[in-house]
Structure 1
Amino acid sequence: MNQADLIVGLQWGDEGKGKIVDMMAQEYEVVARFAGGHNAGHTIVTGGKKYALHLIPSGILNPDAVNVIGNGVVVCPANLMKEMAQFENLEGRLWLSDKAHLILPYHQLIDQAKERMRGDKAIGTTGRGIGPAYADKISRSGHRVGELKEVESLFEKVMEYLEQNAAVFGAMGVEMPDAAKLRTDLERYRDGLMPYITDTTQMIWRDLEAGRKILFEGAQGTMLDIDHGTYPFVTSSNTIAGGACTGMGVSPKQIGKVTGIAKAYCTRVGNGPFPSEDFGEDGERLRQQGHEFGTTTGRPRRCGWFDAVAIRYACALNGCDQIALMKLDVLDGFDEIKICTGYEFEGETIDYVPYDLEKVKPIYETFPGWERVEGISDYDKLPDSAKAYIETIERVSGVKVGIISTSPDREDTIVR
């Protein structure tokens, strides 16, 4: 049986998946996104030019690759069309599942209102309407991309939904959209997206049967998975490898090689537990050297040391065959570097991720730093201290580090 390979984030998102997908996409004929929405952000630097992608798969920078937005993605039509505008000649190169759910303007208003109502207990969402759109999907009151084919019917169903929930939305301070503008927006979405809408499940099946090389691209990271992440401080979809099966419509037998992406240190955006967070000078230095500000929101990311316990957990959940270690160069110049190799939890030392991650304290191993790895593309030329650091990650995680990134540029990558 032909299989599709998979890339998945192993931390709290922002691991640098975009660069690896972009690099690997040069070898694939189809690149498909299976979960999340435009709360994701992939920054790719190639040829000195920077691209920020949110919905379109990173394979778009390979002119020979077909790019697919699968049914597991929630799609904001306005944002997708804005993103598409930066590229030319997308017809035949970009396809959108007719079963993907729509994010409409009121979803974003609901998202923002709920965050305001939570006050100091806010989750830290991007406010892009992702959660409310997935909530409507699960409660069977959402609307799918395929419904854009019949705008009048879609408009009537949306208006009926808004009228049924008017009291609830009013209590939340959410203003109902203007009916005339809503109809105009839906018509604009139909006109802009109709040439790209198709049954992507059947499309992927045909591609697999034909033996085409397919790469599935995840969004966010394992620790943000709705089931297996740091709930409730998570995203609203299944970000792990299993999410590719539901988000693309393939069986587990059709998943091939799994590459897990992790930074050489750790970051997260928003609230929630982060055991290895550094609140001192080292954390700030990581933020500045790593340019750790959100692609989607611009928010400064929380920064800390590599958490090998969480990585082992993530590798097991995803069945990783290899780790791609990103941004090793950000650690250049540190005198000492730490790895969290265990947790202190309720008076005991543990090597697993417990239910309540808020209550753990990190146990660190300290390593000598190195002067510079930036731009190195040969493993043998890495400083011995950098090799020792990488080998410790392999030992604790139980997974080989097969790819190492030493700068944002595609060419500055070690493939072992």
Structure 2
Amino acid sequence: MSNVVVVGAQWGDEGKGRIVDWLAEKADIVVRYNGGHNAGHTLVVDGRTYKLALLPSGVVRGKLGLIGNGVALDPEALLAEIDRMAAMGIRVTPEVLQIAETATLVLPVHRAIDAAQERMRAKPLGTTLRGIGPAYEDKVGRRGLRVCDLAEPELLAQKLDVLLEHHNAWLRGSGQEPFPRDPMLNDLLAMAPRILPFVGRVWEQLDHAHSSGKRVVFEGSQAVMLDVDWGSYPYVTSSSTIAAGAASGAGIAPSHLGRVLGVSKVYATRVGEGPFTSELDGALGDELRERGGEYGVNTGRPRRCGWLDTVQLRQSCKVAGINQLALTKLDVLDGFESVQLCVGYMLDGARIDYMPSTNAEQQRLQPVLRRFDGWVGSTRGVRSYGDLPPQAAALIDAIQNEVGVPVAMVTTGPERDDAIVLQPPFA
């Protein structure tokens, strides 16, 4: 297989950017296919930390990065990120970045709507307030603006009028001030000359890459449990996060996607609201958070922490087509007296081995936990499976047995080469 799709297998923040960065050394192209700047990917390279949101992780290696049509693109956020990379010595030019013509634009009005909707909910969803959801709503409602519209100022103004007519009616109806048109239009026209040189036919480039045998990494954002169809609805994102989303969100045939590598921590985290069956409250959860640095890359929000849920992970693998696992942050568990895995659920007195579809049932789940001995030695920086403490190796074996998917690699530290490779994803 010449291509690999990287999918978050939990609730996001699994370390996908780091895995994509490692794969990018062997790839020719890295493609973002969903989400927007609500995603945060952290790379540590030679002691320097790069925090990416919209840019494909391969740009740090100088590989061609493509932003697909499935991405919700905030032009202001993209240009700010390009400027941050330039300040760190990474030049992002049209030779190393191309943006799909039909990618949806995220606008300031979307951020305003996002914040207003979150304030009005009796129970907030915990969105990042970046305007991603409202932008996707406009896309599906057929009133959205797309990147290609930046090249047609008159059409851009007309489409903006239609979009604002819709949103301002809602704002007025909810007792809020309507959103002004001209400042937003002027900002878009000012940014257009910087954005348009990056715009191209991403689908065509991917078709050429396939026919010429190039290696492509498809970089997903968020995760299966945040998928709009397969996640813990309504506490989800607004795009397709599974491997199938890579085909529709980048413009490539599903048969050309290749392997699907699911990324999971050896424990579990979640940001925002929603059910989390294996969550740890109190001192142990706090310790996991501090050891793992579990705070949002872009938002700084503390992540909820718990034991790895193998029922959830197994279900994610099935619906997302995951056929290899990358386990991250093994070194965070160093020194724990014991470690546990969630291997089943109790629902109203009965044991089940799947995650129910309703939020009410998910909230009533109780975890069935299996205990494992911890280890005294350090796994940090270990790059050979045989050098792991026996207890750590036993935990990895148990995870792949419970989930039914082989572990291809395990990360043991923040540097890109702190990893144990068991099955090379590219073959």
Same fold (TM over 0.5): yes
> 1:348 maps to which residue?
350
Cα distance in 2 for residues equivalent to 1:165 and 1:378: 56
> 2:98 maps to which residue?
95
Aligned-residue offset at 1:173: 5.1
> 2:11 maps to which residue?
12
> 2:379 maps to which residue?
373
Q: Is the 8 A contact 2:341 2:370 kept in 1?
A: yes
More deviation, 2-11/258-267:
2-11
Q: 2:278 aligns with which of 270, 276, 279?
A: 276
Secondary structure of 2:371's match? strand
For the structure 1 residues 89 and 365, does the alpha-carbon distance in structure 2 shift closer, same or farther, using more than 3 Å as the test? closer
Cα distance in 1 for residues equivalent to 2:211 and 2:177: 48
| Mapping 1:391-402, distance limit 5 Å | 391-402=397-408
Q: Is the 8 A contact 2:38 2:128 kept in 1?
A: yes
Instruction: Name the amino acid aligned to 2:365.
Output: V
> 1:24 maps to which residue?
23
Aligned-residue offset at 1:318: 2.1
> 2:296 maps to which residue?
294
Cα distance in 1 for residues equivalent to 2:325 and 2:166: 48
More deviation, 230-239/158-167:
158-167
2:305 is the counterpart of 1:303: yes
Cα distance in 2 for residues equivalent to 1:163 and 1:244: 33
Aligned-residue offset at 1:252: 1.7
Q: 1:211 aligns with which of 210, 213, 219?
A: 213
Cα distance in 2 for residues equivalent to 1:76 and 1:89: 17
Q: Is the 8 A contact 1:113 1:173 kept in 2?
A: no
More deviation, 286-295/309-318:
309-318
Q: Any runs of at least 4 consecutive aligned residues in structure 1 with deviations exceeding 6 A, and if so which?
A: none
> 1:70 maps to which residue?
68
| Mapping 1:197-346, distance limit 5 Å | 197-346=199-348
Q: Which runs of no fewer than 5 residues in structure 1 stay unpaired?
A: none
Instruction: Name the amino acid aligned to 1:84.
Output: I
Aligned-residue offset at 1:225: 0.4
Cα distance in 1 for residues equivalent to 2:22 and 2:174: 45
What are the Cα deviations for residues 297-327 of structure 1, in whole angstroms up to 9, with x where unaligned? 1000000000000110111112222110000
TM-score, normalised with respect to structure 1:
0.97
| Mapping 1:113-132, distance limit 5 Å | 113-119=116-122, 121-132=123-134
Aligned-residue offset at 1:176: 3.5
Aligned-residue offset at 1:61: 1.1
Q: Is the 8 A contact 2:5 2:259 kept in 1?
A: yes
Q: Which runs of no fewer than 5 residues in structure 2 stay unpaired?
A: 423-427
Instruction: Name the amino acid aligned to 1:359.
Output: R
Cα-Cα RMSD: 1.2
Instruction: Name the amino acid aligned to 1:231.
Output: Y
Secondary structure of 2:49's match? strand
Aligned-residue offset at 1:160: 3.3
Cα distance in 2 for residues equivalent to 1:395 and 1:389: 10
For the structure 1 residues 341 and 93, does the alpha-carbon distance in structure 2 shift closer, same or farther, using more than 3 Å as the test? same
Q: 1:410 aligns with which of 410, 413, 416?
A: 416
Cα distance in 2 for residues equivalent to 1:252 and 1:360: 35
Give percent identity, aligned residues only. Answer: 44
| Mapping 1:352-363, distance limit 5 Å | 352-356=354-358, 357-363=362-368
Q: Is the 8 A contact 1:269 1:301 kept in 2?
A: yes
Q: Is the 8 A contact 1:3 1:253 kept in 2?
A: no
Cα distance in 1 for residues equivalent to 2:180 and 2:357: 44
Instruction: Name the amino acid aligned to 1:227.
Output: D
More deviation, 28-37/148-157:
148-157
Cα distance in 2 for residues equivalent to 1:97 and 1:269: 29
Secondary structure of 1:409's match? coil
> 1:33 maps to which residue?
32
What are the Cα deviations for residues 318-367 of structure 1, in whole angstroms up to 9, with x where unaligned? 22221100001111111010100000012211111111322211100001
Matched pairs, number: 413
Aligned-residue offset at 1:209: 1.1
